[in-house]
C-alpha cells in the first residue's frame, strides 16, 4: 500500500457536522469531521494520550474530543484542551496528532495520505466531467467492499480480455480477440480506445435491451486509468448516442480488503426509475469480478513481471503495474508486514505534511517504508509519462 496519494475516504453525505466518522485506509485508522465552514478535517484516529479512538468520542464545535479523558484536538491535530489539568496548564508541545489534507469531488471526500507539501501534491483526479452535466447524464453511486488486494482489483478493471469470459451480460465468449491498438500515456496513467463485439441482443435485459434490440455494430470502449487516486473510467458507446461511463476509485482498507467507490453516468434512460436496474447490473458485474480476483495468486501485488506471463493484450495492466512499481521505488510503500508484526505493542501513523515540516516531537512514529524515501516522485513520474519511451 502506497502513501502520498489521494484516496477516497467516504461519501460526502456520510460526514456530517457534530459527528466523528471513523474509516480505515492503508491499514490505519482515521477520523473525519465536517467543520463549521463546510470543509472536512481528517486526523489519525489514535489519541496520543493513551491510545483511545477519537472516532468513538464526540465533536465539540470543530474539535475532536477523545472518549477516554476528554482531551480535545483542533482540525490541525493540535491538542487545545486537557480537562484533567485545568485551563491554566501549558499543553505539551508533543500533544498533537497527524492531520491530512482533504478535498471534496464527486461528492466523495478525498484525503491525501502522505506528507508531501502542498506544492508537491498533485491535484485530485478529474476523470468524470459528465458528473457536472446533469442535464445529459444521470449518475448512480455505489460503494463495494471486496476481500481482495487493491492492486489486483484495479488491474482486473483494466483487463479487457477477461470480459468475454467473466461477464456474460456484456462480454462475448465467441469473439474474445482483443483489438490491439496503441495505448496513449496521460498525465498520471494511460488510455486506450478499443472495440468489442457485443453479446447477442437476447442476453441483454431491462432498458438497455429495448434500446439495443435492433442489429448493431461493435461496441466502442474507451478505457482510462490514473495511478493518482487509483481510479479508472470505462466508457462504452453501445451505439451512436447511447453510452455510459463507469468511474471508480479503489481505497485499500488493508492488504486484503478494498473499498471501491463507484459512479456510473448514463446518457440514456436518465429518469430516476431506471437507477436500480443500472445499480443491479453494476453490482452483478463487480461480484463476477470479485469472484475471480479472490482466486488469483499471489494474493498481493506487485510480483516481478517475470513471475507472470503478460502479453500484448495485457498492456494496460502492465502500465499500471509499472507505475505502482515506480511508486514503490520512490519509497512510498508502507512496510505493512512490520506494522502488523508490531501492531500489539506499537502505534504507527501515516506521516502528515506537518510532520515533514517538523519531524521531531511526535508521540507516534511514522510508519516504516519498504525502501528509502524519495520525495520528488510525482514530478519524476510526470516527466516520465510525458516521454513514454523513457518510462519503459
Ligand atoms: S486516551 Fe485520549 S484523552 Fe486519554
Ligand atoms: Fe470485469
Tens of pLDDT, residues 180-200:
888 999 989 999 998 888 777
Length of the chain: 392
Tell me how far the alpha carbon of residue 279 lies from the centroid of ligand 2, in angstroms.
15
pLDDT of residue 391: 43
Ligand 1 binding pocket mutation candidate from 29, 45, 56, 66 (most atoms within 8 A of CB) = 66
129-322 CATH, one of 2.60.200.30, 3.40.50.300, 3.40.50.970, 3.90.380.10: 3.90.380.10
- Alpha carbons 339 and 122: distance in angstroms, whole number: 27
What 8-state DSSP symbol labels residue 333? Answer: B
> What pLDDT does residue 388 have?
53
Q: What would you report as the CA-atom Rg of the chain, rounded to the nearest whole angstrom?
A: 23
How sure is the predictor about 170, in pLDDT bands with cuts at 50, 70 and 90? confident
SS3 59: strand
Cell of 300: 498481493
Q: In angstroms, what is the span from residue 209 Cα to ligand 2's centroid?
A: 20
The pTM score is: 0.95
Q: Is the pLDDT of residue 216 over 80?
A: no
Calculate how far, in angstroms, residue 101's C-alpha sits from the geometric centre of ligand 1: 24
Of the residues 43, 52, 80, which should be mutated to test ligand 1's pocket, given the most ligand atoms within 8 Å of the CB?
A: 52
DSSP 302: P
Query: Do residues 110 and 261 lie in contact, with contact meaning Cβ atoms separated by under 8 Å?
Result: no
Instruction: Write out pLDDT tens, residues 98-147.
Output: 999 999 999 999 999 999 999 999 999 999 999 999 999 999 999 999 99
172 against 221, higher pLDDT: 221
pLDDT of residue 380: 87
Report which protein residue has its CA nearest ligand 1's atom 4.
69
Decide if pLDDT at 263 tops 70.
yes
pLDDT in tens, 148-169: 999 999 999 999 888 888 887 7
Among the bound ligands, the one closest to the CA of 286 = 2
Considering every ligand atom, which ligand is closest to the CA of 52?
1
Q: Which of 160-174, 218-232, 372-386 has the lowest mean pLDDT?
A: 160-174
Alpha-carbon gap, residue 356 to 183, rounded angstroms: 37
CA of 357 to the centre of ligand 1 (A): 25
Tell me the pLDDT of the chain averaged across its residues.
Answer: 92
Does the bond joining 302 to the residue before it have cis omega, within 30 degrees of 0? yes
Cβ(291)–Cβ(162) below 8 Å: no
Domain(s) of CATH 3.90.380.10: residues in the chain? 129-322
Question: Hey, what long-range contacts does 290-293 have (CB within 8 A, 24 or more apart)?
Answer: 290/144, 290/146, 290/147, 290/148, 290/153, 291/166, 292/156, 292/162, 292/166, 293/146, 293/148, 293/152, 293/153, 293/156
Looking at the CA of residue 66, tell me the nearest atom of ligand 1: 2
Average pLDDT over residues 192-214: 78
Percentage of the chain lying above the pLDDT 70 cut: 97
357: nearest Cα among 53, 77, 36, 26:
77
Q: What is the DSSP track for 83-105?
A: GGG-TT----TT-B--EE-EEEE
CA of 278 to the centre of ligand 1 (A): 46
- Ligand 2 center to 243 CA (angstroms): 18
Out of 69, 79, 347, mutate this one to test ligand 1's pocket (max ligand atoms within 8 Å of CB): namely 69
Ligand 1 nearest-atom number relative to CA 51: 1
Nearest CA, atom 1, ligand 1: 50
- The kind and range of the H/E element at 25 are strand 21-25
275, 286, 216: which is closest to 250 by C-alpha? Answer: 286
Q: Cβ < 6 Å from ligand 1: which residues?
A: 47, 49-52, 66, 68-69, 71
71 CA closest ligand 1 atom index: 3
Q: Which residue has the cell 478525498?
A: 110
29 CA → ligand 1 middle, Å: 16
Which three three-digit cell numbers place residue 241? 448516442
Task: Identify which of 138, 160, 270, 167 has the alpha carbon closest to the alpha carbon of residue 211.
Answer: 270
- 156 C-alpha to center of ligand 2: Å? 6
Domain with CATH 2.102.10.10 in the chain: 5-116
Cell of 153: 482489483
State the cell numbers at 221: 470502449
Which residues make Cβ contacts (< 8 Å) with residue 143, sequence separation at least 6?
Answer: 11, 259, 260, 261, 262
**pLDDT at position 34:** 98
C-alpha closest to that of 127 among 230, 229, 233: 233
- Report the run of H or E that residue 112 belongs to, with start and end: strand 108-113
Identify which of 29, 31, 43, 47 to mutate to test ligand 1's pocket (most ligand atoms within 8 A of the CB): 47
Report the C-alpha gap between 261 and 109 in whole angstroms: 11
108-113/72-73 β-pairing: unpaired
Whether residue 389 has pLDDT greater than 70: no
* Topology (CATH level 3) of domain 5-116: Rieske Iron-sulfur Protein (2.102.10)
Average pLDDT over residues 81-96: 95
Indicate the DSSP class of residue 118: G
Give residue 22 CA to ligand 1 midpoint distance, Å. Answer: 16
Q: Which ligand is the nearest neighbour of the Cα of 164?
A: 2
Q: pLDDT tens, 306-343?
A: 888 888 899 999 999 999 999 999 999 999 999 999 99
In the structure, how many helices (H) and strands (E) does the chain have? 9, 20
17-31, 51-65, 314-328, 370-384: segment of lowest average pLDDT:
370-384
Task: Name which residue sits closest to atom 3 of ligand 1, judged by CA.
Answer: 69
Question: d(Cα 283, Cα 175) in Å, to the nearest integer?
Answer: 24
Helix (H) or strand (E) holding 142: strand 138-146
Amino acid at each position: 500500500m502506497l502513501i502520498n496519494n489521494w484516496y477516497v475516504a467516504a461519501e460526502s453525505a456520510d460526514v456530517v457536522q457534530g459527528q466523528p466518522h471513523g474509516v480505515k485506509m492503508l491499514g490505519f485508522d482515521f477520523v473525519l469531521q465536517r467543520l463549521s465552514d463546510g470543509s472536512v478535517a481528517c486526523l489519525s484516529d489514535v489519541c496520543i494520550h493513551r491510545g483511545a479512538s477519537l472516532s468513538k468520542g464526540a465533536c465539540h464545535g470543530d474539535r475532536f474530543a477523545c472518549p477516554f479523558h476528554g482531551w480535545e484536538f483542533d482540525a490541525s491535530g493540535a491538542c487545545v484542551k486537557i480537562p484533567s489539568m485545568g485551563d491554566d496548564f501549558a499543553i505539551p508541545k508533543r500533544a498533537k496528532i497527524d492531520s491530512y489534507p482533504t478535498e471534496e469531488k464527486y461528492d466523495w471526500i478525498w484525503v491525501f495520505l502522505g506528507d508531501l507539501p502542498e506544492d508537491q501534491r498533485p491535484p485530485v483526479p478529474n476523470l468524470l466531467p459528465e458528473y457536472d452535466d446533469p442535464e445529459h447524464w444521470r449518475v448512480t453511486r455505489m460503494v463495494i467492499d471486496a476481500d481482495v488486494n487493491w492492486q489486483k482489483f484495479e488491474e482486473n478493471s483494466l483487463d479487457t480480455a477477461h470480459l468475454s469470459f467473466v461477464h456474460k451480460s456484456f462480454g462475448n465468449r465467441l469473439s474474445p480477440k482483443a483489438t490491439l491498438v496503441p495505448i496513449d500515456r496521460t498525465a498520471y496513467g494511460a488510455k486506450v480506445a478499443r472495440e468489442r463485439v457485443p453479446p447477442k441482443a437476447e442476453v441483454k435485459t431491462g432498458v438497455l435491451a429495448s434500446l439495443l434490440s435492433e442489429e448493431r455494430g461493435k461496441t466502442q470502449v474507451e478505457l482510462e486509468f490514473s495511478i493518482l487516486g487509483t481510479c479508472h473510467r470505462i466508457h462504452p458507446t453501445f451505439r451512436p448516442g447511447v453510452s455510459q461511463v463507469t468511474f471508480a476509485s479503489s481505497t485499500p482498507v488493508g492488504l486484503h480488503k478494498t473499498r471501491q467507490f463507484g459512479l456510473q453516468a448514463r446518457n440514456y434512460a436518465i429518469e430516476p426509475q431506471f437507477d436500480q436496474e443500472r445499480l443491479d447490473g453494476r453490482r452483478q458485474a463487480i461480484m463476477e469480478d470479485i469472484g475471480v480476483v479472490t482466486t488469483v495468486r499471489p494474493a498481493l501485488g506487485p510480483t516481478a513481471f517475470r513471475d507472470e506471463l503478460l502479453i500484448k493484450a495485457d498492456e494496460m495492466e502492465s502500465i499500471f503495474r509499472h507505475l505502482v512499481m515506480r511508486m514503490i521505488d520512490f519509497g512510498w510503500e508502507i512496510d505493512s508486514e512490520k506494522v502488523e508484526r508490531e501492531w500489539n505493542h506499537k502505534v504507527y501513523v501515516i506521516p502528515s505534511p506537518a510532520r515533514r515540516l517538523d519531524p521531531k516531537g511526535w508521540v507516534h512514529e511514522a510508519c516504516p517504508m519498504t525502501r528509502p524515501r524519495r520525495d520528488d516522485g510525482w514530478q519524476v513520474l510526470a516527466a516520465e509519462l510525458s516521454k513514454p519511451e523513457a518510462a519503459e
